[in-house]
Structure 1
Amino acid sequence: MSDIPLEHVHREPDSDTGNAVFVLHGRGADEQDLLPVADRLPGDRHIVSFRAPDRLRGGYTWYDLDLSGGGLESSQPDPDGFRRSLDMVAESIDAAVDAYDLDSDSLGLLGFSQGAITSLSLVLERPDTFAWVAAHHGYLAESHADRSPDGIEGKPVFVAAGAADQIIPASRSEAAAEGMREAGADVTFGTFEGGHGIGPDELEAVQAFVEEHD
């Protein structure tokens, strides 16, 4: 829809519900990439999967990388692009709530890699917007690492890492989980076999998380 800033896929539920999950893909992917994960979440809900604003190879990216800290494994979001994407996602979520008549008290947020980094920052900026957040293979951006806003206390947050992830090491995701816990969130953390992707055990874990907190 033209009044929603970001291109997206919207899948309607079978039942008359306003529950929804917003989905943010990883670097170089697109809005189709995480639909198989979102489709497997328990419960009936709208799925709104956003496309990042900038082209990258055959897909899209939310922001450029700042590699000045020593390489990919210690990268941070480029501040200007990160800020723009955070604002665009927030505006798109607000517009989608109105456009699709969503229940503003029952909104989940699921992201992978860059989408997970964006998701963790969004819940720290707007904790009252989301009922729960699932962040797969991401880290807590330095720009948001010291935030502990009102409304984050007890917020259900799922953080997943890959034991063999060479793009975002498990230690960074674990540190993100600890940072969110220190901010006051109710964090569920798990490290799973495999690299930079969501495998069967990780999918089963996020399904259980959503079933518990949805």
Structure 2
Amino acid sequence: MTDLPLEHVHVAPDHDAGPAPAVFVLHGRGADEEDLLPVAESLPDDLHVISLRAPDPLQGGYTWYELDLSGGGLHESQPHVEDFRRSLDLIDESVSAATDAYGLDADRIGLLGFSQGAITSLSLLLETPDSYDWVVGLHGYLPDSHLDLTPEGIEGKPVFVGAGTGDRVIPDSRAEAAADRLAEIGADVTYETYATGHGIGQAELADVVAFVEARLR
């Protein structure tokens, strides 16, 4: 396996005919790089899948950052600033390294994240929108550190935001606020809610697959 700054799993596309599009997958808190592979396996076969592992061990899995609960508990949590910055930089470095190592099409790279991975994915999009062709953020939110960013290149960028109406970890109101903010600054946002908790159900998965397929046409 190719060395990247972050441990990872790479699944190559079925047909190797030169540089191909890719999706970088970012798991949630306490999970690992294997956790979202069943989701990634449902995506089109012509994608490279690079599922990254967060840097810090946590309860048998890994985390992208510790939580800042000073704002009022879990429902108002924010990423710990220094941890978050380190993970954003490590992901950025890993995307760059994988693009060279695996011969990815640098103009057709997507991000797919769940929970902490969604928060991280949406933040990366706002930092360098030209680096990503599309983003899927499921059951996440935009952190305070990135709320005021209005980067060039965000206009028309396809973003799918999914939320669960029964989510007791990250309420759908936080995901909706992220979708509203992204739309306000010009992204092409698809926002959907599902009668689920903090997890990805079949209806949500089907909508994600349709969204990604549309980006690859």
Q: Tell me if 1:147 matches 2:149.
A: yes
SS in 2 for 1:111: strand
Offset at 1:3?
4.1
Amino acid in the other structure paired with 2:15: S
For the residues of structure 2 that align with 1:11 and 1:197, how far apart are their CA atoms?
23
| 2:104 matched residue in structure 1 | 102
SS in 2 for 1:103: strand
Amino acid in the other structure paired with 2:185: A
| 2:75 matched residue in structure 1 | 73
For the residues of structure 1 that align with 2:170 and 2:140, how far apart are their CA atoms?
7
Q: Unaligned regions of 5+ residues in structure 2, if any? A: none
Matches within 5 A, 1:78-97: 78-97=80-99
Identity of aligned residues (%): 65
Matches within 5 A, 1:33-44: 33-44=35-46
| 2:8 matched residue in structure 1 | 8
Offset at 1:42?
2.7
Contact 2:125-2:135 at 8 Å conserved across structures: yes
For the residues of structure 2 that align with 1:3 and 1:203, how far apart are their CA atoms?
30
Contact 2:168-2:197 at 8 Å conserved across structures: yes
For the residues of structure 1 that align with 2:82 and 2:185, how far apart are their CA atoms?
24
Contact 2:79-2:143 at 8 Å conserved across structures: yes
| 2:56 matched residue in structure 1 | 54
- TM score, norm. by length of structure 1: 0.98
For the residues of structure 2 that align with 1:123 and 1:174, how far apart are their CA atoms?
17
SS in 2 for 1:29: coil
Q: Unaligned regions of 5+ residues in structure 1, if any? A: none
For the residues of structure 2 that align with 1:13 and 1:213, how far apart are their CA atoms?
16
- TM score, norm. by length of structure 2: 0.97
Superposed CA offset, 1:19-39 (max 9, x none) = 110000000000000000011
| 2:131 matched residue in structure 1 | 129
| 4+ residue segments displaced more than 2 Å | none
Contact 1:43-1:211 at 8 Å conserved across structures: no
For the residues of structure 2 that align with 1:209 and 1:164, how far apart are their CA atoms?
23
| 2:194 matched residue in structure 1 | 192
Offset at 1:43?
4.4
Contact 2:9-2:52 at 8 Å conserved across structures: yes
Offset at 1:193?
1.0
Offset at 1:211?
1.4
For the residues of structure 1 that align with 2:45 and 2:175, how far apart are their CA atoms?
27
Q: Tell me if 1:32 matches 2:34.
A: yes
Offset at 1:85?
0.2
Q: What root-mean-square deviation, in Å, do the aligned CA atoms of Structure 1 and Structure 2 show? A: 0.9
Q: 2-11 or 77-86: which moved more?
A: 2-11
SS in 2 for 1:22: strand
For the residues of structure 1 that align with 2:83 and 2:57, how far apart are their CA atoms?
13
For the residues of structure 2 that align with 1:43 and 1:124, how far apart are their CA atoms?
28
